[in-house]
Chain A
């Protein structure tokens, strides 16, 4: 996989040919600003539903193994 990645990066490196002097970056193409939500509560999930997809639900919470360093 390392070889494939490096070959992709070789192609991508051709971007250096493009003159980007003074060009602003584009993160968005939508002409929008100030899309904000009123501070109004919406219903939360029932806890059973929230936990229903969890691999290891326990005591109403999502259980995960501890970091090795602290065990």
Chain B
């Protein structure tokens, strides 16, 4: 009998804060500038320099803690984490080990162990040996990024699959994005995610040996990487082996996992309280400011579902504030429109049309929410057919014209006179005796050809349901 395994996954997420300056010095944050143009004696760790923490970074951190429903620590201190590497100029990173600013939180189904504030490392670019005396390989260190404020969020091992990680990661990203405290851009590294993965027999409570999957730059890759690693661990165990603790890198282009280092060379970081910094005791004002949260994606999605919006559309809208605001603008413009219908138009036809027409960003769309509401209203009240609605949408996305004017210009108004439509139906049956006969003899599918003929004759202005009803009536069904 083969054993079934569950995966157990915990995440460590690094979020670069979008402050103006670094965590402990006044150098500006930047991305993509020439190397080493944003450095000073402090972030280059010259002898004698001292850190002074960035107040805004601390406030941003508290906001993240509040959004993750964490307990915000009444006293928060900094520690030195010691290790030698060229990207770590002091040879210690200032972080929070003993008393992080936030503990015991939750986002969705995932518990947050804690969140702490620290400084980012510099960037090291490995180069060839060109130009060096001994000809061996070298690295170039760029300290622009060194000292960027980072919040590290550590989850409990509450995730079970790659797709859960992707979905939860997207929720986390949307949540932090909405706080306005980070760009959360994975490609630029302002959001980085490491996953700790282990497997255990179904029903077991004991955690297996975990491996760490490092630093992937999209949640899609993380999902694939995790699935690959779970499969690998299952294989190792199935073939009688044991999972070894190690750090892995997933190559999305090949789908392969590479070992970066084994934990045998595990560091003793020799943490000690940072003597150059004094405790941060968040004031009432700081806490109140942190707790002034906007409606966050999870809550917004729940609210949308509560007014009848489908789950998918509710999530899509909630993850992007500008889309949610657009959707709410549509509802505000015409309160007779059903939220479900409006959400489907916004996330469905409208979003697709923007993509089709030069990938227009929503912010630059010529169609305001009131205009889209008018179009949805025309369809909902059967003034135009759904098909005609799409024609109108194409036109208004292209030039921002008024939906009613497009309907009038193109004569798209639905034929509301039953007498007129009935004549067209009778004519269609006469003109198409073959399908008519097939329908009469029991092949109901053949009715499609007759509907098509009516639609062609009315240029799509007829209501499909009414056409069907009239056809069936005249065919004696």
Contact = CB atoms under 8 A, between A and B. Distances in A.
Chains A, B in direct contact (C-beta < 8 Å): yes
Interface of A: 25, 27-28, 30, 32-45, 47, 50-51, 58-66, 70-71
Contacts of A30: 278
A40 B57 CA distance: 12
Contact of A37 (B52, B131, B137): B52
A64 B141 CA distance: 8
Given A37-B26, A41-B28, A62 B36 contact: yes
Q: Which 10 interchain pairs have the tightest Cβ spacing? A: A42-B26, A39-B56, A61-B140, A36-B55, A66-B137, A27-B273, A32-B278, A71-B137, A37-B52, A62-B141
25 contacts: A32-B278, A33-B75, A34-B279, A34-B280, A34-B283, A35-B52, A35-B278, A36-B52, A36-B55, A37-B52, A39-B55, A40-B21, A41-B26, A43-B26, A45-B40, A50-B40, A58-B138, A60-B142, A61-B125, A61-B140, A62-B86, A63-B132, A63-B141, A65-B136, A66-B137
Contacts of A37: 26, 52-55
Contacts of A50: 36, 39-40, 44, 143
Interface string B105-138: 0000000000000000000011000011000111
A65 B38 contact: no
A37 B461 CA distance: 66
Given A42-B26, A47-B35, A63-B132, 10 more contacts: A35-B277, A39-B19, A42-B21, A42-B27, A44-B27, A44-B38, A51-B36, A62-B143, A63-B139, A66-B136
A25 B79 CA distance: 14
Most buried by B among A30, A32, A39, A64: A39
Given A33-B281, A34-B280, A41-B28, A60 B36 contact: yes
B94 to A, nearest CB: 14
Interface size grouping (class) on chain B: 35 or more
Nearest to B43: A44
B34 interface: yes
Q: Summarize A's interface: helix, strand, loop or mixed.
A: loop
Most buried by A among B19, B54, B140: B140
B81 to A, nearest CB: 15
Given A33-B280, A70-B126, A38 B55 contact: yes
Given A30-B278, A41-B28, A42-B27, A63 B138 contact: yes
B411 interface: no
A62 to B, nearest CB: 4
B288 to A, nearest CB: 15
Interface string B19-55: 1110001111000001111111100100000001111
A42 B136 contact: no
A11 to B, nearest CB: 22
A28 B278 CA distance: 8
Contacts of A38: 55-56
Contacts of B275: 27-28
A36 B60 CA distance: 13
B182 to A, nearest CB: 14
A40 B36 CA distance: 19
B21 A39 contact: yes
B350 interface: no
Most buried by B among A44, A65, A70: A44
A66 B139 contact: yes
Contacts of B53: 35-37
